[in-house]
Structure 1
Amino acid sequence: VRKARPKVDTSSPQTFIHLHLKPKKLQLEEERLAIIERDNRLLLEKMSTIMRKQSRVDNVNNYEHLNREKRQRELLKVTRDNKSMMERIISRSSMRQEREWEADWQRNLAYMDSISRYPTGWWEKEKTSMSLQSQNRGGSSRDGGRERTSKRSGGGGNGSNRSRGYDSGSFASTSKGDESEKSGENRSQADMQQQ
């Protein structure tokens, strides 16, 4: 049994060197590298000859820009504009007065109130009108204070009702709500009639 040979060959197959090395590919790679090396050497020789010898054509000239004057004119214009702008900025006052700010704010509030369908920011207007009433009571009569608040609020009836509401304490918020509802209904009826 020890000397018996197997009928099936289970050993590894033979390895062929030409299948793994691929000499044709190696030869093509060497030829490509030789061509690159030759081209590099020729370029280096040409560059060295150019650096050693002087050129036959005399091209050392001072060329002037064709639009040099135009660029100078534009630069002068920009500097003049910058200078005038700087003078305008320096001449302006750095701050606006608080009274101007307050007047602008009141004007903007009147514009916003006139274009809005329902009164906007009524709680802020109540605060400002209350402070104005307290100032008017100290310096002038009650009637003058009512007229000023009515002018500031945007209408005679609404302002006088508001000033009455301030005198009666908690009645101010309810009367204001009723007035806004009435004005909203009147406006919606006017819109329907126009259509």
Structure 2
Amino acid sequence: MHRFPLLTSPWANGHLQQAWEKAYRHHRRKVQNAQPVVDTHAPPTFSHLHLKLKRLKLEEEKLSTIDRDNHLLLERVASVMRTKEHTDSRNNSIQRRSS
């Protein structure tokens, strides 16, 4: 069996006792002066997570396609309105009888 060495001199025992008491007082002082360290701030927000550039680009392309189609439709309607007297509404297809 291993035995712990006995401190033979009272000075060594007293010196160790004082060192332990000093360390304990220091520890207790640190515990008394401890400040809370819980972070209660909001997490950082990143702009690339809120600003969706791909979605904006797709929406812009969609709107430009709609504008182009509206412009073409407006031109067709205007052309029909200008030439409404000259339109031919007759059906020139040949009607075939089924016998």
TM range (shorter): 0.3 to 0.5
TM-score by length of 2: 0.45
Pick the structure with more helix per residue: 1
Bigger Rg, which one:
1
TM-score by length of 1: 0.26
